[in-house]
Amino acid sequence: MSSGSWATLTDEALADEIEANGRTERRLLVGVAVVAAVCTVAVLVLHGPVTSDDVDQAPGAHSVAVR
């Protein structure tokens, strides 16, 4: 918009902008949530839950045996 473009800011145009911003917000946040959730779930599924089986292989496990 150029200088003086404020003159086009009618109530109708401003209301349209509010609606457009609402739509953008919906699309953006739904998309973000889906991608973030998929990435996180994929990482968690690949690893699986923390169980006591992991402890045998964990950093401290060796020193338990050594002591």
Partner 1 sequence: MHGVTVPWRDVLVAVLAACVGIGAIPVLAGLYQYLLIPVHAFRNHLSRAAPYLPRVVVIVPAWNEGAVLGASLDRLMRLEYPPDRLRVLVVDDASTDDTPDVVRAKAAQYHDRVVHLRREQGGQGKAHTLNHGIAVALADDWMQALLIMDADVIYHPDSLRRMTRHLADEQVGAVTAFIREGSRRPGSVARFVGYEYVTAQAAARRAQNIMGAMACLAGGAQLHSRANLEAVGGRVDTSTLAEDTYTTFLTQLAGRKVVFEPAAVVLAEEPDTVTALWKQRVRWARGNVQITRTFRRVWFRPRRGHGLGRFDFGVIWFAIYLLPVAMVLAAVGLVGLYFVAEVTATLAFQSLWWIAVSAYVFITVTTMLLDRETARRSWLQGLLFPGVGALVVMVAAWFPNLLEVRLPALFGWEMTPAGREVWTLTLYAWSVLAMLLAWGVKQLERTRVLKPLALPLLYLVGFGPVLCAITLDAYVKQWRGAAAVWDKTEKTGRVMG
The one-letter amino acid at 23 = R
Task: Answer yes or no whether residue 59 interacts with partner 1 by CB under 8 A.
Answer: yes
Task: Answer yes or no whether residue 45 interacts with partner 1 by CB under 8 A.
Answer: no
Q: Which helix (H) or strand (E) holds 34?
A: helix 11-47
Cβ atoms of residues 17 and 11 within 8 Å: no
CA distance 47 to 45: 5
Task: Answer yes or no whether residue 60 interacts with partner 1 by CB under 8 A.
Answer: yes
Binding site for partner 1 (CB under 8 A): 1, 3, 5-7, 9-11, 14-15, 17-18, 21-22, 24-26, 28-33, 35-37, 39-40, 43-44, 47, 49-50, 52, 54-55, 57-64, 66
